[in-house]
């Protein structure tokens, strides 16, 4: 492509711009597109900057809704109101949409790429304003999220997705099950599937024996580690993972490495049990993540079917564990079963109680080879589950998109 390559504006409300968004942005930039991101700000002020070389404009939402200036004055506050925030949700006219839409239009992009349904209206209006291309990237079945605000307006979200999806020149989602459900629900072609796979850093060797977790926690070299990494929240089955820790064979330690307010609840639950069975570590930088995962003996994905998204889930950690060649124990959900059982990467089971967790984890811990065959199998299939494999599909789809008259 030449210097006149199309401009892409990605729109997201992820305060911390996710790996998927950054991988797509970097892939398109390397293919010659000029990529920018319009994102929701964590703070109460607008900002501009870059993330890994991609220009980002952050749009503040907290207390910034122009409809409620009078309410703020009546409340004697410069900005901010819970009542205003509630009305924004109930009315369906969200503050981010109101503030981001004119900025998206002003960007005059050739392609507007909406990351998730709550950003599709912004991208759609900007695309219509300029006759630009519209890309809809559904990271989940948004109307089915187990979130009280989404559930409150589920019918409206479904109606919006049904109304705007036909205007998308390209639809993308994260796994074939969600693609099939969207096709069934909206009587449309199935979106292109781009899995949330990582590319291993050049310095990472999946055949090496890393021991970073034991070093950080001062654990003996023969003590097994069961790792959960990522966001800690309700609905992910983490409470029973804590409760299962005393039931694990070989004095195995359960390690939570990540973030989330729910960590305090899990730490309190762990403190009520036997000492020295559950540990917590902060998240690590993305380039270091696979080495930390490879330091575990088992990676666990204990999600619960609290919504259709969890049931259809294809979480980042699944692909992280594959790249790190870690045996996996996961809930028996369709996509997890499809990948783990098909490739013989570990155990899928109905994780409904602490004893069920312990039985599944102990089945791996009891393997005579210590999980070596599972690790070898993960190394064999890892090239299938890299971002490089997904990126080729994204570039091809964009090339076809921009070649249309």
Examine the domain organization and report whether 149 and 250 are in the same domain. no
In whole numbers, what is the pLDDT of the chain averaged over residues? 92
Confidence of residue 58 (pLDDT cuts 50, 70, 90): very high
Give just the sign of the alpha carbon dihedral 218, 222, 223, 227. positive
Residue 150 shares a structural domain with residue 276: no
What pTM was computed for the model? Answer: 0.91
Mean pLDDT throughout 127-140?
97
State the pLDDT at residue 53. 96
State which residues form the domain around 96. Answer: 7-197+386-403
Q: Do 340 and 399 fall into the same domain?
A: no
| pLDDT at 294 > cutoff 50 | yes
171 shares its domain with 231: no
Separation of alpha carbons 196 and 204, rounded Å = 19
Task: List the single range of 41-45, 87-91, 150-154, 290-294 with lowest mean pLDDT.
Answer: 87-91
- Residue 202 covered by a domain: no
Number of domains into which the chain is organized? 2
pLDDT at 44: 82
Please tell me whether residues 126 and 236 are part of one structural domain.
Answer: no
Listing from the earlier edge strand, what are the strands of the sheet with 34-40? 47-51, 54-59, 34-40, 7-12, 111-115, 133-138, 170-173, 192-193
Domain at 362, CATH number? 3.40.50.2000
On whether both 256 and 316 belong to a single domain, the answer is yes
In a domain, 203, yes or no: no
Burial class (CB in 10 A: 0-12, 13-18, 19+), 175: buried
Does residue 2 form part of some domain?
no
| pLDDT score, position 350 | 97
């Amino acid at each position: 492509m030449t210097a006149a390559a199309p401009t892409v504006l990605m729109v997201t409300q992820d305060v911390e711009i996710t790996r998927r968004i950054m991988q797509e942005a970097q892939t398109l930039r390397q293919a010659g597109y000029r990529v920018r991101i319009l994102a929701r700000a964590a703070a109460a002020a607008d900002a501009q900057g870059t993330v890994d070389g991609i220009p980002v404009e952050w749009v503040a939402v907290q207390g910034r809704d122009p409809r409620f200036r009078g309410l703020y004055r009546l409340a004697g506050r410069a900005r901010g109101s819970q009542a205003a925030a509630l009305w924004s949700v109930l009315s369906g006219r969200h503050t981010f949409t109101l503030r981001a839409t004119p900025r998206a239009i002003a960007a005059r992009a050739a392609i507007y790429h909406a990351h998730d349904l709550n950003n599709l209206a912004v991208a759609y209006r900007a695309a219509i304003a300029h006759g630009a291309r519209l890309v809809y990237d559904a990271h989940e079945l948004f109307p089915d999220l187990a979130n009280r605000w989404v559930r409150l307006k589920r019918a409206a979200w479904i109606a919006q997705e049904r109304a705007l999806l036909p205007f998308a020149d390209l639809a993308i989602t994260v796994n074939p099950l969600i693609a099939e459900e969207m096709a069934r629900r909206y009587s449309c072609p199935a979106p292109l599937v781009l899995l949330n796979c990582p590319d291993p850093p050049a310095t990472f060797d999946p055949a090496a024996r890393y021991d970073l977790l034991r070093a950080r926690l001062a654990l003996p070299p023969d003590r097994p580690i069961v790792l959960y990494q990522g966001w800690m929240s309700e609905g992910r089955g983490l409470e029973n993972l804590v409760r299962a820790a005393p039931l694990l064979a070989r004095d195995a330690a359960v390690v939570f490495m990540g973030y989330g307010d729910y960590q305090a609840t899990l730490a309190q639950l762990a403190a009520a049990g036997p000492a020295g069975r559950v540990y917590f570590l902060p998240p690590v930088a993305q380039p270091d993540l696979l080495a930390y995962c490879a330091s575990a003996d088992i990676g666990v994905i204990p999600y619960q079917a609290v919504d259709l998204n969890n049931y259809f889930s294809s979480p980042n950690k699944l692909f992280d564990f594959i790249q790190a060649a870690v045996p996996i124990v996961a809930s028996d959900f369709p996509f997890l079963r499809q990948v783990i059982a098909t490739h013989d990467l570990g155990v899928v089971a109905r994780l409904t109680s602490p004893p069920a967790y312990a039985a599944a984890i102990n089945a791996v811990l009891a393997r005579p080879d210590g999980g070596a065959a599972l690790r070898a199998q993960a190394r064999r299939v890892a090239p299938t589950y890299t971002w490089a494999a997904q990126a080729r599909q994204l570039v091809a789809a964009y090339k076809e998109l921009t070649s249309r008259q």
